[in-house]
Amino acid sequence: MSVKLPKIMTAVGFLEPGGPEVLQPQELPVPVPGPGEVLVQVAFAGVNRPDVVQRQGHYPPPPGASPIPGLEVSGTVVAVGEGVVQIGEGDRVCALVSGGGYAEFCIARAGHCLPVPASLSLDQAAALPETLFTVWHNVFERGYACEGETLLVHGGTSGIGTMATMLGKLFGLTVIVTCGSAEKCAQALKIGADHAIDYKAFDFVAEVARITDGKGVNLVLDMVAGDYVARNLKCLAPDGRHVTIAVQGGARAEINMAFVMSKRYTLTGSTLRPRSDTFKELLAQELLTNVWPMVADGSLRPIMDKQFPLAEAARAHAYMESGDHVGKIVLAG
């Protein structure tokens, strides 16, 4: 039976870029799903670093996307657009979206939705899409990670870092992470990392050499860029791969290309939000085949930190920027 939908909803957005305080609740029309789309009544929305960067004015939404922040949601489908047959009203889903997640209702492409198993809570479901899509594509597709290899992940207790650790272990990788304190290193080890390096107390290049007996790692998942790139390359074994997914330490890097050539390194990277709907749909299908069975049987769960009410999104952003979180932050709709 169709749900009688309101015409107006609460969403959290901003009029001008700035600090967390610019995020304010506002009243907006409930969106209507178009062809190939569904309308999700949002139970939870994930809070991610790109949301913070968007709020700061440095990561505008792609053309046609909602200006409201929020790149992942979970909830119940309450309306479907023309041509949607794989999902129906009443289905519990989580979805990767291009924007609009910080709201009571959100449009999602049907092909970008994943079914929420009965064993998975909706807060956990909202914490999965952005990290899963990102890690799967960058570690296993762009980075060609293979069983038996060693992966170095910076930001080991972040949402991406925790997911990279858990997914890496499930697929037979040795995982080394860097963290900003001894306490966070201890938490990273509990999550499943094989080794955790306090980058404020130790030189991670020297520590990687020690841990690997001088062999180096096969793959680096880098969220820092800047002057980390040259240091990351010193951590790589011959034929190693370096994948950049964020530039928190600066967009420019100076590297010795003769060194890259002599070691046969591959340098790559990606951003997820601007990719085509078709690309994201294919990625969702790969996750359904390769990863979702692990979600369904409970062997893969996101590391959860804090929940905030939707109206307190500003507090959630301030908390993320403090760097104190371990794992995922979500907003309760």
Taking the C-alpha atoms of residue 89 and residue 39, their distance in angstroms, rounded to an integer, is 9
- If pLDDT is split at 50, 70 and 90, which confidence band does 222 have? very high
For residues 279-298, average pLDDT: 98
What is the set of domains in the chain, with CATH numbers?
Answer: 8-128+273-332 (3.90.180.10), 132-269 (3.40.50.720)
pLDDT tens track for 103-131 = 999 999 999 999 999 999 999 999 999 99
* pLDDT at position 22 over 60: yes
CB neighbours of residue 328 within 10 Å: 28
Q: Which pLDDT belongs to residue 333? A: 85
Q: Which pLDDT belongs to residue 105? A: 98
* 8 Å CB contact between 40 and 333: no
Q: Which pLDDT belongs to residue 3? A: 67
Which residue, among 118, 94, 115, 121, has the nearest Cα to 106 in the 3D structure? 94
Strand partners, 217: 236
Taking the C-alpha atoms of residue 100 and residue 26, their distance in angstroms, rounded to an integer, is 13
**Angle formed by the axes of helices 228-235 and 204-211, nearest 10°:** 10
Name the residue with tokens 């009544």. 41
Q: Which pLDDT belongs to residue 278? A: 97
Q: Distances from the Cα of 271 to the Cαs of 59, 137, 155, 198, in angstroms?
A: 11, 10, 17, 27
Q: Taking phi first (over 0 means left), then psi (-120 to 50 degrees means alpha), and beta for anything else, what does residue 329 get?
A: beta
Which residue, among 70, 68, 78, has the nearest Cα to 25 in the 3D structure? 68
pTM for the model stands at 0.95
**Secondary structure (DSSP) of 58-126:** SSPPPTTS-SS--SEEEEEEEEE-TT--S--TT-EEEEE-SS--SBSEEEEEGGGEEE--TTS-HHHHH
Which residue, among 89, 110, 93, has the nearest Cα to 1 in the 3D structure? 89
Taking the C-alpha atoms of residue 71 and residue 128, their distance in angstroms, rounded to an integer, is 11
Pairing label, strands 37-47, 72-80: antiparallel
Strand partners, 115: 93
Q: How much is the mean pLDDT over the chain?
A: 97
| Residue 309: partners with Cβ closer than 8 Å, 6 or more residues away | 331, 332
> What are the φ/ψ torsions at residue 177 (nearest 5 degrees)?
-125, 160
Q: Which pLDDT belongs to residue 76? A: 98
- If pLDDT is split at 50, 70 and 90, which confidence band does 199 have? very high
| Residue 275: partners with Cβ closer than 8 Å, 6 or more residues away | none
CB neighbours of residue 301 within 10 Å: 15
